[in-house]
Structure 1
Amino acid sequence: MPRAVAINVAANTNLPGRRGPVYPDGSFVYVPIPEREPTAGPVPTYADLDLAAYVPDDAVDRPVHLDPEFAGALGREAYTYGDPYGVKARPISALEPGDSLLFYATLTVSDEDADRANRADRPARANRVDWLPPDWGCFLIGEFRVAEVLTGDEYRKSDAATRERFASNAHARRESFDAAVVVRGDPDGSRLFDRAVPLSTPAGGADANRLVTDLSADSGKGPWWRRVLRYDADATATLRERIDADPADWPA
């Protein structure tokens, strides 16, 4: 039966210095972190991706480390993710086809509906949710249904056809490939969510809800929003149901 792992990604208060926004209706903007390593070719900047409004002024012209990439979002055509750090790479490497690799981000709660109303690509919505924390929170923002997982060594030893399947990944586009694991998502089951899925309670961003404390193997204590969250088969089935449901309708 499928299992799941959830990892922290996207812009934060360290890189590039500001979190992405989540809006009163639960929608959000996916803002990747900046690229910090030399790349083999040109890489789009935040300005190029129409994300300048969501990063500090000194980051607007920085190249973007677009990882994970979601087909149909920010000009991407594939679902890939790579990670160079063992703390994430080890549990990701254990995933198998059909498992879920979930991505979560810390997001700042924003009331800037005027900004959205003035942009054709992000129109304002009328419905306001009641499950957002007051200032910031942790939210699931996307999922890969795993199609293929390679360790860094397996990638380096792979043939040209295999490498081509990961060619658009940010780590494959660096001058020196440095990922300890790369993952390709199945297009039929992978997506960037339209609505953030809360992992924090309405009380505050640091307060983990039951998707963390009851379903994952994590205690929800301390800085849980920086850790890898692991879900066994039964928990994964429940988690997938929660993702597709309105958080307002989740069991108490």
Structure 2
Amino acid sequence: MARALAINVAANTNIPGVRGPIYPDGSFVYLPIPEREAIDPAASVPTYDDLLAELPTLPFELPADSRDRAVHLDPEFAGYPCCDSFTYGDEHGVKAGPISELEPGDSLYFYATLTTHEPPEGVDLDDAVGWVAPEWGAYLIGEFRIAEVLDSDACQSLSPAGRAAFASNAHRKRAEFDAKVLVRGGEESRLFDRAVPLSTPESGAAANKLVTELSNDSGNGPWWRRQLWFDAEATATLRSITAAGDDRRPVADRLGS
């Protein structure tokens, strides 16, 4: 039976100093973190300006010193600017270890902390959903349906086919390849059109029932920085919720409670 793991990704108040925006209708913009390591001179890596030329207009200005910085575009989602694959890599054992336990058919969910904004001038939205947290919150933004997972040993001995499959991943574009895990998403992988909340509508720091009832996490303390495991039954429920991209109900209603 399939299991799922959810991990925190994307821009935050530490790097590059802002979170991606979420709007009252639940739509959002995925912003990756900046690249912090040396890049292979032969690699093509986009900057924030490159992404902003193709992304919807943001409701704020990025820090001036970040506009020409290369981004660590990880995870990459096919169809997102400068991406044509679904891959993710991580060099940190705290994430790499749990991710290495996933198997083909499992789900790797990505969640991000997003700041609530009104849309930029001239941008029309759907009606407000009612579950967007008032200042910031944690939200599921995408899923990989696992096609392949390479653990630390496999990463260090990539075959030619493996190098080709992960050629576009951000860790393969670093001057020194450092990933301890690599993941390739298969069919049904996607970046969501509308976020799925992990926070309550009242407070970003308060976990909703997707965390406290479906995952292994208590929701106490800074849960939005932790990995969230979902067993087979919870995964089936989570998949049904995330598949309904046009479902505008609060999480409690979607769970039938």
Mapped to 2, the partners of 1:139 and 1:190 lie a distance apart of: 17
TM-score, reference length from structure 2: 0.92
RMSD: 1.4
Mapped to 2, the partners of 1:57 and 1:198 lie a distance apart of: 30
Mapped to 2, the partners of 1:99 and 1:42 lie a distance apart of: 31
Partner of 1:4: 4
1:1-252 matched pairs, under 5 angstroms? 1-40=1-40, 41-50=43-52, 53=58, 55-114=62-121, 117=123, 124-186=124-186, 188-245=187-244, 246-248=247-249, 249-250=253-254, 251-252=256-257
Gaps in structure 1 of 5+ consecutive residues: 118-123
**CA offsets 1:187-211 (integer angstroms, 9 cap, x no match):** x210000000000000100000000
Gaps in structure 2 of 5+ consecutive residues: none
Structure 2 residue identity aligned to 1:100: S
Mapped to 1, the partners of 2:177 and 2:47 lie a distance apart of: 20
Contact 1:71–1:79, Cα closer than 8 Å, also in 2: yes
Mapped to 1, the partners of 2:126 and 2:27 lie a distance apart of: 11
Contact 1:155–1:163, Cα closer than 8 Å, also in 2: no
Structure 2 residue identity aligned to 1:7: I
Mapped to 2, the partners of 1:218 and 1:19 lie a distance apart of: 23
Structure 2 residue identity aligned to 1:225: W
Mapped to 2, the partners of 1:92 and 1:238 lie a distance apart of: 20
Percent identity, aligned pairs only, is 61
Aligned to 1:107, the other structure's residue is in SS state: strand
Aligned to 1:212, the other structure's residue is in SS state: helix
Aligned to 2:204, the other structure's residue is in SS state: strand
Greater Cα shift, 154-163 or 94-103: 154-163
Instruction: Give 1:75 deviation, angstroms.
Output: 2.3
Greater Cα shift, 136-145 or 41-50: 41-50
TM-score, reference length from structure 1: 0.93
**CA offsets 1:100-148 (integer angstroms, 9 cap, x no match):** 0000000000112426x2xxxxxx2232110111100000000000000
Mapped to 2, the partners of 1:73 and 1:46 lie a distance apart of: 13
Mapped to 2, the partners of 1:151 and 1:70 lie a distance apart of: 21
Question: Structure 1 runs of 4+ off > 2 angstroms?
Answer: 51-55
